[in-house]
């Protein structure tokens, strides 16, 4: 169930009742440095505060991500969901669907 959905310049972020943060994008999204900084701030301000938070990001609709955005997403602040592009600093795994991702990520909520 989606709770507290926030629009970003390129997509949406929300937290479900299990405490899992989600982020998705519309088809053809092109993510810039400014978009990534905005998403980071929305996540930090509205959901994470100072704690690390599990996040499921649906990147299937993304057309392009700038180098600066990849650097932000791979930072200690945001995590890395672009496997193979940057070294991960936290557990990362890719899934074909949200259901499987949610099962895997629940281990980090315990």
Domain of 39, CATH number, reads 3.30.750
Cβ atoms of 82 and 73 within 8 Å: the answer is yes
Global confidence as pTM? 0.74
Please give the pLDDT value at position 108.
Answer: 73
Please give the pLDDT value at position 89.
Answer: 63
Cα 81 versus chain centre, distance: 7
Handedness of CA 21, 65, 81, 103 (dihedral sign): positive
Please give the pLDDT value at position 29.
Answer: 94
Please give the pLDDT value at position 88.
Answer: 54
What secondary structure letter does DSSP report for 8? -
Q: What is the mean pLDDT of each run of 10 residues along the chain (110 residues)?
A: 79 89 93 90 84 83 88 64 48 84 82
Please give the pLDDT value at position 2.
Answer: 57
| Residues 6+ away with beta carbon under 8 Å from 84 | none
- The residue range of the domain holding 73 is 2-109
Quote the number of domains for the chain.
1
Cβ atoms of 106 and 98 within 8 Å: the answer is no
């Amino acid at each position: 169930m989606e709770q507290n959905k926030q629009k970003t310049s390129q997509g949406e972020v929300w937290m479900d009742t299990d405490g899992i943060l989600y982020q998705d994008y519309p088809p053809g999204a092109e993510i810039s440095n400014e978009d990534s900084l905005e998403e980071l701030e929305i996540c930090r301000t509205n959901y994470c505060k100072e704690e690390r938070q599990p996040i499921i990001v649906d990147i299937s609709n993304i057309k392009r991500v700038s180098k600066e955005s990849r650097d932000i997403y791979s930072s200690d602040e945001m995590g890395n969901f672009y496997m193979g592009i940057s070294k991960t600093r936290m557990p990362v795994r890719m899934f074909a669907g949200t259901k499987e991702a949610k099962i895997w990520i629940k281990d980090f909520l315990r």
